[in-house]
Every structure is written in structure tokens, then in C-alpha cells.
Amino acid sequence: MKLRGVDSISDAERLRDAELRIPIAEVAPLDDGSFYTFQLKGCRVFSGDEFLGTVTDVLDSGGTELLKVDRDQHETLIPFAESYLKKVDLAGRRIDVELPDGLLELNG
């Protein structure tokens, strides 16, 4: 990546730890079934009628991303895998999942 006005290593070092932001109106559209991390954060997660919590982060596990879902000081990690997802409603800020038996217990 090349940034205008950043022409040397010392110029680049001044930007270390800076945050790059893009206006939402300029974010490239994604294919159906793909989501940006920022779109998932803040979504409420449900398994049937059970509220599991709110997505506070999306973790890169080197394979399938993990949704970090928090509720009442309890953290649950849920694979963001098509086999577990029933519905992602970004407008309604809701993610419906169908989890295999025992997954919630693995999170302690």
C-alpha cells in the first residue's frame, strides 16, 4: 500500500499505530454471505429464543473467525461458520445460530 506523502521509512514510522478509517459510504460491497467485522460488532446473538449475548469482537483463529459474545460478565466464543448460522440480520442487529450440543458448555 502506498499513501500520498509517505515517501520514506521515517515518514511511515510516524504513522505506526495510527488507525485507517474509510467512510461507510465508500466501503466496497461484499458478496452475499460475507460481512465486515464492524458490521457484526454490537449484534445480539440468539439460539432459538435464548439470548446468548452481544458480539463484542470478531477473532481471527487462523481458520474460521470466532464471534466473541458477551453477556453478564460471561464470554462465549462461537465459530462464525455457515453450518452454525441460521440468519444474520444486520438491519435488525441480530444473529441467529444453531449450535451443536455441548458448544456452550465448552465456554465454561
What's the domain count of the chain?
1
User: Pairing between strand 94-97 and 44-47?
Assistant: parallel
**Mean pLDDT score, 1-11:** 90
User: For the whole model, what pTM was predicted?
Assistant: 0.77
Kindly provide the b/e burial profile for residues 57-74, where b requires at least 16 CB atoms within 10 angstroms of the residue's own CB.
Answer: ebeeeeeebbbbbeeeee
Query: What CATH number does residue 73 fall under?
Result: 2.30.30.240
Q: What is the pLDDT of residues 12-51, one digit of tens each?
A: 999 999 988 889 889 898 888 888 999 999 999 999 999 9
In a domain, 16, yes or no: no
Could you tell me if residue 24 is inside a domain?
no
| Residue 89 resides in a domain | yes
Residues 54-107: tens digit of each pLDDT: 999 999 888 889 999 999 988 999 999 888 999 999 999 999 999 887 777 777
Q: Domain for residue 39, yes or no?
A: yes
Query: 23 in a domain, yes or no?
Result: no
Domain that holds residue 88: 31-106
For residue 5, what pLDDT is reported?
92
According to DSSP, the β-strands at 50-59 and 85-89 are unpaired
The verdict on residue 1 lying in a domain is no
